[in-house]
Amino acid sequence: MTHRLGQNPIHRRQFFGTSAAVMGAGIAGLLPTKFLQAESRPAVTNPKATDGDNLHEPNWDEKLTLSVGLKKGDLQGSTDRVLQAAVDYMARIGGGTVKILPGTYTFRNSVFLPSNVRLLGSGPETILTKIASETISLTADSDWYDQEITLEKVAGFRVGDGVVLKTKNPHNGSIDVIKRTLIARSGNRFKLSDGIRKNLWLSGNPTCSSLFPLLTSERTADVVIENITLDGNRKNNTNLNGNYGGAIFLQDCNRFTFKNVEARNYNGDGFSFQICHDVVVDGCHSHDNADLGVHPGSGSQRPVLRNNKLERNRIGIFWCWGVKYGLAEGNTITGNGNYGISIGHNDTDNIMRNNHISESGKVGILFRNASRGKDFWANRNLIEKNIIENSGDDHGIAIDIQGNTKDVQILNNQLRETRAAKKRIGIRIAAEAGKIELTNNTLNGFAQPMIDLRKS
């Protein structure tokens, strides 16, 4: 059926599509075009608190702050539970600041952060740490739809503990990792905070470990964490892979900011965030962690890593898979066991500028070789005005560009060896690599300043 309004025919399908678009646009559909352009809209000069408007907010003279302390404060205690109660209270009223007074707080589970909170410590005197980990075998099969496990013995496990369950997948042989909280107990049987959703069969040698991130969050946004020390009690804990944990671990979050946070001694990563966008790590100190100092995880967009000290981790900065449009600037990256910076699988369009990278165990900056895919290399990255010195052992390399990496700019960097030259290399470029721009770089003290295998 066709209806005609003047000379403009509108078909039935077009009418409903047009109507939906107008309703979706709301009053914007009635405004002149110039009002739809952000640069032409009137400036907000006198904001008013309006329900649902989280873009413009008045500058209030006072906002709600809740204090937590060992023996002083609105809430008192020394465990994760008191901090969890504080941030949950803030979440109920829509957000605010939780001030943590000086002291050592020992956790048996993560503190799960909601949106719109600020966690403000008192500097180095505010220490969040964790109990020693235990690992106990399971003694009964649990199917994927179950919500309970049976342990060989209770040992030190308590109701409320954060745990990691591991098992060999019966179908493909991989290792399944499940994070849960113990919420009820009868003898050696514990109820979990959620269903297992994996098969914990005895044939896979399943275990339960008291492992967890100190601070964690999932599918939240707009959180600030400042002036806190996180100590992972590394010597008394087994390793937790950075894809599941760390001193800080985020999953699917937006707009988290860390300022003056010290993440140390975690048997895993210091800072790990997976598929998280616009995360800022500024002026932080990540050191003596077993794995990665800062781990912008797979798919994370626009991370900013600025003015941090990353020392004695396995890798200082690890750009994971598909991390794009990020900035690493002004960082001091020293004494990391393997690499100062590692970048690889589809990590494109990032800038690494004005960093001081020294005493790396193998390579200062590594461009990893992609194992599969048509074009999964770390292309279109800028390496500019960095100092890279004393990289690796006798065969160390300052910058190692592997695989089919292309369209990388390496500009105005100082690469140097103050030790004996040995067999050390300044820049090595793989035979398969594409266009690499090398401009105004200074290379001193190497046995071979440049090895470009593309020419051989």
Q: What average pLDDT is seen over the chain?
A: 92
Length of the chain measured in residues = 456
Separation of alpha carbons 452 and 456, rounded Å: 8
Closest to 316 (Cα-Cα) out of 250, 262, 270, 374: 270
Kindly write down the DSSP assignment for every residue of 44-77, as one continuous string.
Answer: --S----TT--S-----S---EEEEESSSSSEE-
Nearest 10 degrees: Cα torsion 17, 20, 22, 24 = -140
Is the domain of 27 the same as that of 151? Answer: no
The answer to whether residues 208 and 149 touch, using CB atoms and an 8 Å cutoff, is yes
Question: Does residue 10 register a pLDDT over 80?
Answer: no
Is the domain of 235 the same as that of 329? Answer: yes
Assigned domain for 427 exists:
yes
Question: Does residue 32 register a pLDDT over 70?
Answer: no
- What pLDDT sits at residue 455? 77
Convert the pLDDT of each residue in 429-456 to its tens digit.
999 999 999 999 999 999 999 999 997 6
Choose the final residue of a domain: 157, 185, 209: 209
Is the domain of 10 the same as that of 84? Answer: no
Assigned domain for 414 exists:
yes
Percent of the chain clearing pLDDT 70 (strictly above)? 91
Assigned domain for 41 exists:
no
This prediction has a pTM of: 0.89
Assigned domain for 412 exists:
yes
Res. 39 pLDDT band, cuts 50 70 90: low
Question: Does residue 7 register a pLDDT over 50?
Answer: no
Is the domain of 8 the same as that of 122? Answer: no
3-class DSSP assignment, residue 87 = helix
- What pLDDT sits at residue 373? 76
Res. 36 pLDDT band, cuts 50 70 90: very low
Question: Does residue 286 register a pLDDT over 70?
Answer: yes
Residue with token string 């589809």? 346
**What is the domain-level CATH number for residue 150?**
2.40.30
Separation of alpha carbons 184 and 75, rounded Å: 25
- The stretch 368-388 carries a mean pLDDT of 92
Question: Does residue 275 register a pLDDT over 90?
Answer: yes
Q: What is the number of structural domains in the chain?
A: 3
- The stretch 286-308 carries a mean pLDDT of 98
Domain extent, residue 157, equals 135-209
Assigned domain for 60 exists:
no
Assigned domain for 342 exists:
yes
- What pLDDT sits at residue 40? 80
